[in-house]
Structure 1
Amino acid sequence: MPNQTASLPLAGVRVLDLSRVLAGPWCGTVLGDLGAEVIKVEHPQRGDDTRDWGLRVGATQTSYFNSANRNKRSVTIDLQTADGQRIAQALALKCDVVLQNFRHGGAEKFGLGYEQLKRHHTSLIYCSISGYDPTGPEAARPGYDLLVQGEAGLMALNGEAGRPPLKFGVAAVDLFTGMYAAQAVLAALFERQRTGTGRHIEMALFDCGLMIASYYGLEALMTGQDPLRYGNAHPSIVPYGVFDAEDGPLVITVGNNAQFDRFCREVIERPDLAEDDRFRTNITRTKNRAVLVPEIDRELTRRKRAVLLERLKNAGIPCGEVLGLHEALTSERATASGLVTHLPHPESGEMQVLSPPYRLDGARPPVRHAPPSLGEGTHDVLRSLLDLDDTQLARLEADDIV
């Protein structure tokens, strides 16, 4: 059987993932998807917090845990013990990258801080993830996605006008932070090829939360006030959003003036709207959305969704149905693209995980390792990297260190 890792970009890179919950593990998963060997360190009894979140998959896994921990091995080490700390330190010195999101000062307490490891491993790339600026007055404050969504203004721009603040449906700040962290690690790995030295990367959830605001953030700075909320509509493009046909919702994205002209004439059969000076350009349509959108709504609700989708397609206007999540995951589009991987599971029979989103030379990277059960890789990893024998491993197990 060919080596599935050898042809991937990060083949040969080893990552020690000391993080838990979502932002850090998401970074580790991105690196693992691209071919890195990722060793996830967990507490011998409790494991990652997310092994107790979501729907149960076997004895030690859940839907939440599995979403952020594919392509990893699980090694259980009690970092509260001196022997456990020595093992983790030794593993770190065998790795190219260390990820951690301990509370402020926690890594140093275990002898796993950047400066402590750097003394013995100058080429180490070390990524710390915290809630807030690690050099500021809130450095020791725990950070959680929901907190940052509120404090970074994301809840205030999400949802419908006149309604209470609304969080994103998923932990968007954690996910973006994990992706930004992975980008920074990749840049540091590239730089290390030239210089031979490592980097200390520091990521804060609050910083990444503000980045998500993107163009909304710049508008707030320019106007000195919060942007209006438009729900499923777009703040700068009209018509662009979710609309109701006679028999259900659909997405319509009219991206330019030529598309708007075709939309009016060929889709809703209202050439008068295309010829109205109030609606000739996107800027004037945005200013007059309160007049235009009700007219569009009235025409759309008189027509079947299938008819509208066909007309929109023929007019060259991007459009689509609004699907439920299960419907989307099991759609012909997702199935044909291989976006869900089915893997055997020793307890539940089968597990499903999302596949890596990349295509490399036309092929999607495989899920080389299923999300691991707690401690499944402990013996293999400690034997191969630290040369521990069966007697040593048995003693460590007897003392609840691994």
Structure 2
Amino acid sequence: MTPLSEGALSDLKVIEMGTLIAGPFCGQILGDFGADVVKIEDPKTGDPMRQWGRSLPKGLSPWWPVIGRNKRSVGLDLRTPEGRAIAADLIAGADILIENFRPGTMEKWGMDYAALSARNPRLIMARISGFGQTGPYAQRAGYGLIGEAMGGLRHVTGEPDRPPARAGISIGDSLTAMHAFMGITMALHARTRTGRGQVIDAALFESVLAVMENLVTEYDLTGYVRERSGSILPGIAPSNVYPCQGDEVILIGGNGDNVFARLCEVMGRPDLAADPKFVSHAARGTNQAELDQIIAAWTRTWKLADLLALLEEKGIPSGRVFRAPDMLEDPQYQARGAIVETDHPVFGRIKMQNAFPRLSETPGQVRWPGPALGEHTDQVLGELGLSVDKIADLRARGIV
């Protein structure tokens, strides 16, 4: 295991405020690469992620050990003046502050960037919200699903004859967390030149919009509105999910001319590569449905494992649709250490995804799972200079 001192961000101190996914996932990424992430939570209830999830084995959320990993938990009531004063003292010694409250909350608490940076000019403040810190929608409640819809993702997700669908994960929140993280790294680089921090304003809808490819430009130039297309991208063929024997399916991506020609040879249909309907990328896109039917009729005669082996041998991009059990058994996952185990005080040994991307000299790692609520309160406040008696008094009054 790589010691904390060797992490790429091990010289950084982060204060994480806010709850749920976007802000905490940003903190998780920083913690994965060695930053000292101090998570401030309500001392009575903690982050709702401690209770979220479809199932609660042993009464605990399996989500929290992942999103709370590599962090120190401090219980602190920010609704009290004394709690906010302690938080401000912690922030005064930090490099980065992450918050994802509704815009205006930090200002109401007297913890706006002007006030915080007056004490700590090097502070980088990542502000995560649904619609950003400015504009007519800034004060609206903005969860990930709203950002996904406003950013254009929901409209193009799902089958064309059904209402918009969603991905099976909170992709809008995760994209925003990653954009906030990118902003933090840029601000850190700028700070090496200027000596000053700055504010990162990461909005859910803009983070989704950022990955929407040419959706706006295509409409602007041609009037075309991209619609739901199920398992395909219109005009990109063949690139789809095809049936195999039984209930199994295979993904095949053969839309490049050379790859398509190899696929035709494997299918025993070299004539398709010269057919005017399929001879070029544009032609295959125009006749996408017909081509998919031809390929599906062929794949349906194969067992998945046999077909995967054949396509791999011929250099044709293909794969299975992975579920969690597949990930745990797959040799590529195993060789890369993509899934790791860590000790949990209640669950015992638990598995979760590793830290990504991989750095050759200062890799990230999972050092510990999400901690118990307030597990590090005494430690962190002691580092701040508060005495044992003072911390005991704060605890008696429900502030920590």
TM-score category (smaller protein) = over 0.9
Q: Check whether the contact 1:185–1:201 (CA below 8 A) recurs between aligned residues.
A: yes
TM-score by length of 2: 0.94
- 1:264 aligned residue: 264
- 2:376 aligned residue: 377
Q: Which runs of 5+ in 1 are unaligned?
A: none
Q: How many Å separate the matches in 1 of 2:346 and 2:307?
A: 47
Q: CA offsets, 1:178-230, max 9 Å, x none?
A: 00100110111111111101111111111112123223443333332421332
- Identical counterparts, % of pairs: 35
1:57: Cα distance to partner?
5.6
Q: Check whether the contact 1:264–1:270 (CA below 8 A) recurs between aligned residues.
A: yes
Q: How many Å separate the matches in 1 of 2:57 and 2:188?
A: 35
Q: CA offsets, 1:70-113, max 9 Å, x none?
A: 11100010011111111000000010000111112111222322
Q: How many Å separate the matches in 2 of 1:236 and 1:29?
A: 38
Q: CA offsets, 1:143-179, max 9 Å, x none?
A: 1011222232212101122121111111111000000
Q: How many Å separate the matches in 1 of 2:2 and 2:280?
A: 55
Letter in 1 for 2:391: L
Deviates more, 1:361-370 or 1:244-253: 361-370
Pairing 1:197-276 to 2, within 5 Å after superposition: 197-247=196-246, 248-265=248-265, 267-276=266-275
Q: Check whether the contact 1:17–1:28 (CA below 8 A) recurs between aligned residues.
A: yes
- 1:361 aligned residue: 360
Distance 1:57 1:353, change over 3 A: farther
Pairing 1:15-164 to 2, within 5 Å after superposition: 15-54=14-53, 55-56=55-56, 61-164=60-163
- 1:400 aligned residue: 398
1:391 aligns with 2:395: no
Q: Which runs of 5+ in 2 are unaligned?
A: none
Distance 1:349 1:300, change over 3 A: closer
1:25: Cα distance to partner?
0.8
Q: How many Å separate the matches in 2 of 1:362 and 1:95?
A: 25
Q: How many Å separate the matches in 2 of 1:243 and 1:154?
A: 24
1:388: Cα distance to partner?
1.1
1:365: Cα distance to partner?
2.4
- 2:320 aligned residue: 321
Q: Check whether the contact 1:250–1:320 (CA below 8 A) recurs between aligned residues.
A: yes
Q: How many Å separate the matches in 1 of 2:264 and 2:96?
A: 55
Q: How many Å separate the matches in 1 of 2:103 and 2:306?
A: 58
1:323: Cα distance to partner?
2.6
Distance 1:326 1:226, change over 3 A: farther
Deviates more, 1:187-196 or 1:329-338: 329-338
1:172 aligns with 2:171: yes
1:345 aligns with 2:366: no
Q: How many Å separate the matches in 2 of 1:66 and 1:147?
A: 26
Q: Check whether the contact 1:73–1:369 (CA below 8 A) recurs between aligned residues.
A: no
Q: CA offsets, 1:346-366, max 9 Å, x none?
A: 223333332102222178522
CA RMSD in angstroms comes to: 1.8
1:285 aligns with 2:274: no
Q: How many Å separate the matches in 2 of 1:57 and 1:183?
A: 34
Q: How many Å separate the matches in 1 of 2:11 and 2:85?
A: 24
Distance 1:67 1:3, change over 3 A: closer
Q: Check whether the contact 2:131–2:147 (CA below 8 A) recurs between aligned residues.
A: no
After the TM superposition, which parts of structure 1 deviate over 6 Å for at least 4 consecutive aligned residues? Answer: none
- 1:186 aligned residue: 185
Task: Report the secondary structure of 1:279's partner residue.
Answer: coil
Q: Check whether the contact 2:164–2:228 (CA below 8 A) recurs between aligned residues.
A: no
Distance 1:193 1:45, change over 3 A: same
TM-score by length of 1: 0.94
Distance 1:189 1:179, change over 3 A: same
Pairing 1:299-318 to 2, within 5 Å after superposition: 299-318=298-317
Letter in 1 for 2:393: R
Letter in 2 for 1:259: V
Distance 1:179 1:390, change over 3 A: same
Q: Check whether the contact 2:327–2:333 (CA below 8 A) recurs between aligned residues.
A: yes
Q: CA offsets, 1:219-268, max 9 Å, x none?
A: 33333242133211232421012111223201111141011111001x21
Q: CA offsets, 1:293-317, max 9 Å, x none?
A: 2112112212232332222112211
Q: How many Å separate the matches in 1 of 2:382 and 2:128?
A: 29
Q: Check whether the contact 2:7–2:362 (CA below 8 A) recurs between aligned residues.
A: no
Q: How many Å separate the matches in 1 of 2:291 and 2:331?
A: 35
Letter in 2 for 1:111: G
